[in-house]
Amino acid sequence: MTAGNGRRAGSPYAPHTDADEAAMLDAIGVESVESLFDIPEEVRFDGEFGIDGMDEKALRQSLSDLFARNEDLTEFLGRGHHAHYVPALVSDLSRRSEFLTSYTQYQPEVTQGFLQVLFEYQSMLVELTGLPVANCSMYDAATALAEAALLANRLRRGASGHRVLVPAHIQDGRLGVLENYLGGSDMEIGSYPMDDGAADVDALTDLVDDETVMVYAESPTVRGVIEERLADIGDLAHENDALFCLGSDLVALALLEEPASVGADVVVGEAGALGLGTAYGMGLGIFATREEYLRQVPGRLVGASEDAAEKRAFTLTLQTREQHIRKERATSNICTNQAWVALRTAMHMAWLGPDRLVDLATDAVTDARELAGRLDDLSGVKAPIYDRYHFREFVVRTDQPAPAITNDLAGRGFAVHALDDHHIQVCITDVNADAADELVAAFEEVV
Amino acid sequence: MNFDQARFSRDDVYEPLLSEKDSTTVEVDSEGVLPDDLTRDELTLPGLSEPQLARHYTRLSQMNYSVELGPYPLGSCTMKYNPSFTEDVAADPNAAVHPDRSDRTIQGTLGLLHGLQEHLADIGGMDAVTLQPPAGAAGEFTGILVAKAYHESRNDDRSEIIIPSSAHGTNFASAAMAGYDVVELPSDDDGRVDMEALDAAISEETAALMLTNPNTLGLFERDIIEIAEMVHGAGGLLYYDGANLNALLGRARPGDMGFDIMHYNVHKTFATPHGGGGPGAGPVGVVEDLTEFLPSPMVRETASGYEQYEPESSIGKVHGFTGNWLVLVKAYAYIARLGDSGLADSSAKAVLNANYLASQVDLEVPYGPFHHEFAATAGDRDAADVAKRMLDYGVHPPTTKWPELVSQAMLTEPTEVEDKASLDDLAHAFNAAYADADEVLESAPSKTSARRIDQVSAARDPRLSWQALEQDE
């Protein structure tokens, strides 16, 4: 029996021979597979979805053709989704099926390999944040931020506070997710203004009060500004018994002040910039915090223990926080997370080592500064618009309308982000740095 | 079949940690880059060469069980084979685009997302599907937020979600996160929804009933039409937990049973690799009346191509961007590879395999007729010990001690990818472990990379980083 494209009907991944099927039915004691289905007639689906199966070769060609419809643009885009060069070691070893096709480590004795990688990932986050507890992943920066706010609210349960303060410059998705996660509680979100692209600390001082459960700041901000007064923001939060949550990313953390030293109680952010590459917004959420909040942490934790041979071994631990045991009283509903991305990120960090990781971060400051300077030299362009230090990205003001400029740049093979009518955001990393000269030349033509 | 898992060990550890192989401290010199007070002083991380890392990770991979090594019959987790070609498809460099790109420049990406939205809607009998939730639990949360938005749009204030006691723990947690009180529903003697208890639980406070069908015992909820009428009659919505959809592909659709909202677990039903704990994807489908509340953005096809749009009364965002793209690509590729006949064959063989395996194990299976999974009972043996011993026979054991309805439960789901010989190996592992002496069970496993791990001390004295281990010394 054959279906379209010359292959045998049925699933190519169900290996049953006719003889096996007959023997199995015989062992069960039924005549047919269909008789095993206990589905009432009135809800049976006898129709067709209208999906024609394809053989592997034809399907790969078809999807290759489909993706070729994406325009081949060199992207200078960031705003929470950053890409650095991912070495072949990461792509190759992360695809080993022992890692890729395993499940959550419910049986740690046969999954020591993955558990150790996750333990090492947690440890690298501890080093970069200075905080002693890091979980082995959240979905992305947005959900990590939302979980941090829920953690802050749990800690303050019974107190009067219920407000989370976030910067006016925040990626839309992060704010949107935060709103949805807080919608199930009595919490509310307040926004504090920016001063020249960084937190307006004076305005924030007026806004933080005993209603505040958490103050969130980012460095770098969504517009690439390095926040210079993190310690002051942390002090403000603590003076009002609020948590200080810092959003960052692993590359930035290799260079910038250690979060623990500026008083961060929780560090969230995006880790996918290492190990994942550009993936249409798919990410890896960082979540690190202080020891005292350990039992309030959402998500999975890998810990060290000992096995019956008295050797060190790893296991998922403190699971009484989690949904499969605590149900509606769990710290979060998260179950499956981003473990395989964490594995890739850990591999990428290990491949870089401390030297190259610091170099990568240093380049993010100097390359952005240099590119901004070159754009600033063009007439009708001001870059960067903020008199601040920048990391990877910066905002450009253009005399000509920004949407028209981004369109013209797309026509010349470049993707940049129009913030509004006269502002464009540009992001540079090791992935696109080689094309910086061409971008500047294209800019010159279109502004 | 004999089995010995790879085991690298040295003194009192298995493979040493990266930090034990090398620890390098670099001073951060930011002169000319940033002011000193904005930077850290130093950074300490392992500084190993690529060959050293290749060996480290390859050794660790060998100390890890996976579905390409053997059967992985975790009930309600649906660990099936992940077709290799889907990895190549997802790695297509043309598919690696940034989410801030304009619609016009990413027609291929949007075309795939639109195609997946359509396929999933057809498979579930739904009218529209969002792909944004990054995992099944996130899908549940999204679905409940949609239900909440729907009720609020009608100025109908409801406070409760009804959930069977045998449901996945995420159901309870997701409902609570959305701000609802959970009403737990007992099962009847047959292992299905207790209709009298349901009748008593439903009220004008009922926002939704969350159901898995087949349920976590593998049983089809035969009264589903009546259940739907009862819930709808009280103004509530019916939510379908898609964890067990693999049992129904091409044979029944949640939308036809009266479900209003459902999530799909793509790693379960559509063979995307679980990756040792994610990334997953938990798309959510809804019926017509609820489409306006779906998260933003959605993708639609217009005369001039694909475009993203915000549904009229959208709940907003449940992920910073648009979800786990790479996973969605693999799910689409799998569905397109199988087509109608392949999808229907998956459920046929999944149900055949579960029933055949159950017929070959010596353990009692108290509830039936089951579909893609069955809950055997280890009786007076400890199910967790039996499971540990099964590892020594070279297979991954089932989910243990859940659902609680079955004492010492071993919830088993072989999926369609196992052939008869593999199922016979699995049955042998079940039966041999079940028959082994108490002391053998209690000291198992012995053929795995690590021996039985002390869970109690791991939790009592949490050591969650290599820094914590160093402090201990």
Instruction: Let me know: does B414 contact B423? Beta carbons within 8 Å.
Output: yes
DSSP structure class, residue B406:
S
Q: Which amino acid is at B1?
A: M
CA–CA separation, B61 vs B54, rounded Å? 10
The neighbour count for residue B7, using CB atoms within 10 Å, is 18
Instruction: Let me know: does A142 contact A174? Beta carbons within 8 Å.
Output: yes
Mean pLDDT, each 10-residue run in order, chain B (473 residues): 94 97 96 96 98 98 98 95 98 98 98 98 98 98 98 98 95 96 96 97 98 97 98 98 97 98 97 97 98 98 98 98 98 98 97 98 97 98 98 98 96 98 98 97 97 96 97 83
Contacts with B, A 330-389, CB within 8 Å? 330, 332-341, 343, 347, 349-351, 353-355, 357-358, 362, 365-366, 389
ipTM of the complex, rounded to two decimals = 0.98
| pLDDT at site A2 | 39
Nearest CB among B74, B179, B340 relative to A51 is that of: B340
| pLDDT at site B278 | 96
Instruction: Let me know: does B273 contact A100? Beta carbons within 8 Å.
Output: yes
The answer to whether A127 contacts chain B (CB < 8 Å) is: yes
CA–CA separation, B403 vs B409, rounded Å? 7
Instruction: Let me know: does B82 contact B69? Beta carbons within 8 Å.
Output: no
Chain A: give the shortest CA distance to residue B161, in Å: 11
| pLDDT at site B472 | 83
Integer-rounded Cα Rg, in Å, for chain B is 25
Identify from A98, A326, A365 which residue to disrupt to test chain B contact, counting B C-beta atoms within 10 A and taking the largest count: A98
Instruction: Give the closest residue to B172 by CA, choosing from A182, A330, A327, A183.
Output: A327
By three-state DSSP, how is residue B24 classified? Answer: strand
| pLDDT at site A280 | 98
Chain A: give the shortest CA distance to residue B19, in Å: 8
Phi, psi of B259, rounded to the nearest 5 degrees: -75, 140
DSSP structure class, residue B412:
E
What is the domain partition of chain B in residue ranges? 82-448
Structure tokens at B8: 């690298």
Phi, psi of A160, rounded to the nearest 5 degrees: -80, -20
CA–CA separation, A401 vs A414, rounded Å? 17
Tokens 């400890």 label which residue? B382
Mean pLDDT value of segment A205-214:
95
* pTM, 2 dp: 0.98
The answer to whether B431 contacts chain A (CB < 8 Å) is: no
Tokens 């307040």 label which residue? A190
**Contact between chains at B68 and A101 (C-beta distance less than 8 A):** yes
Instruction: Let me know: does A317 contact B461? Beta carbons within 8 Å.
Output: no
| pLDDT at site A156 | 79
The answer to whether B420 contacts chain A (CB < 8 Å) is: yes
Side by side, the strands of the sheet bearing A212-218 are: A133-134, A285-289, A266-270, A243-249, A212-218, A163-167, A188-192
| pLDDT at site A159 | 62
The answer to whether A85 contacts chain B (CB < 8 Å) is: no
Phi, psi of A386, rounded to the nearest 5 degrees: -100, 140
Element (H, E) at B97: none
Identify from B15, B41, B64 which residue to disrupt to test chain A contact, counting A C-beta atoms within 10 A and taking the largest count: B64
Residues of B with CB below 8 A from A358's CB? 26, 28, 43
Tokens 């129009």 label which residue? A418
Q: Which amino acid is at A219?
A: S
What is the domain partition of chain A in residue ranges? 4-67, 74-85+353-446, 88-346
- pLDDT tens for each residue of A224-281: 999 999 999 999 999 999 999 999 999 999 999 999 999 999 999 999 999 999 999 9
Choices 3.30.70.100, 3.30.70.20, 3.40.640.10, 3.10.310.10: CATH for B82-448: 3.40.640.10
Beta bridge partners of B209: B162, B238
Residues in chain B: 473
**Neighbour-count burial of A17, counting CB atoms closer than 10 A to its CB (0-12 exposed, 13-18 middle, 19+ buried):** exposed
Instruction: Let me know: does B348 contact B191? Beta carbons within 8 Å.
Output: no
DSSP structure class, residue A405:
H
- What is the pLDDT confidence band of residue A158, given thresholds at 50, 70 and 90? low
Give long-range contacts, CB 8 A cutoff, 24+ apart: B198-204.
Answer: B198/B162, B198/B227, B198/B230, B199/B230, B201/B162, B202/B162, B202/B230, B202/B231, B202/B234, B202/B236, B203/B160, B203/B234, B204/B158, B204/B234, B204/B235
Taken in order B425, B426, B427, B431, is the CA torsion positive or negative?
positive
| CATH fold for the domain made of A88-346 | Aspartate Aminotransferase; domain 2 (3.40.640)
**Residues ≥6 apart with Cβ < 8 Å to A407:** none
CA–CA separation, A244 vs B325, rounded Å? 31
Identify from B465, B467, B470, B471 which residue to disrupt to test chain A contact, counting A C-beta atoms within 10 A and taking the largest count: B465
CA–CA separation, B189 vs B212, rounded Å? 18
> A163-177: buried (b, 16+ CB within 10 Å) or exposed (e) per residue?
bbbbbebbbbbbbbb
| pLDDT at site A9 | 73
Instruction: Give the closest residue to B209 by CA, choosing from B192, B185, B189, B186.
Output: B185
- What is the pLDDT confidence band of residue A7, given thresholds at 50, 70 and 90? very low
* Per-residue CA distances from B169 to A116, B15, B172, B377, B396 (Å): 26, 34, 6, 21, 22
CATH architecture of A74-85+353-446: Alpha-Beta Complex (3.90)
| pLDDT at site A5 | 38
**Residues ≥6 apart with Cβ < 8 Å to B249:** B123, B269, B343, B344, B346, B347
The answer to whether A107 contacts chain B (CB < 8 Å) is: yes
Closest-approach residue (CA) in chain A for B461: A305
- A1 pLDDT more than 80: no
Phi, psi of B193, rounded to the nearest 5 degrees: -60, 130
Chain B: give the shortest CA distance to residue A315, in Å: 7
Chain B: give the shortest CA distance to residue A227, in Å: 9
Chain B: give the shortest CA distance to residue A380, in Å: 24
* Per-residue CA distances from A405 to A255, A445, B98, B208 (Å): 33, 10, 19, 49
**Contact between chains at A73 and B105 (C-beta distance less than 8 A):** yes
| pLDDT at site A157 | 62
Beta bridge partners of B184: B163
Structure tokens at A441: 């030349």
Closest-approach residue (CA) in chain A for B178: A184
Instruction: Let me know: does A259 contact A332? Beta carbons within 8 Å.
Output: no
**Cα torsion through B162, B168, B172, B178, rounded to 10:** -100
Contacts with B, A 156-215, CB within 8 Å? 171-174, 176-177, 179-181, 183-185
- A198 pLDDT more than 90: yes
Question: How is chain A split among helix, strand and coil, in percent rounded to 5?
Answer: 45, 20, 40
**Contact between chains at B274 and A116 (C-beta distance less than 8 A):** no
Structure tokens at B392: 């020594």
The answer to whether B105 contacts chain A (CB < 8 Å) is: yes
How many contacts (CB atoms, under 8 Å) link A and B? 648
* Per-residue CA distances from A218 to A20, A155, A425, A428, B8 (Å): 60, 22, 17, 19, 42
CA–CA separation, A273 vs B464, rounded Å? 24
CA–CA separation, B239 vs B41, rounded Å? 53
Residues of A with CB below 8 A from B277's CB? 103-105, 114, 118, 136-137, 300, 336-340
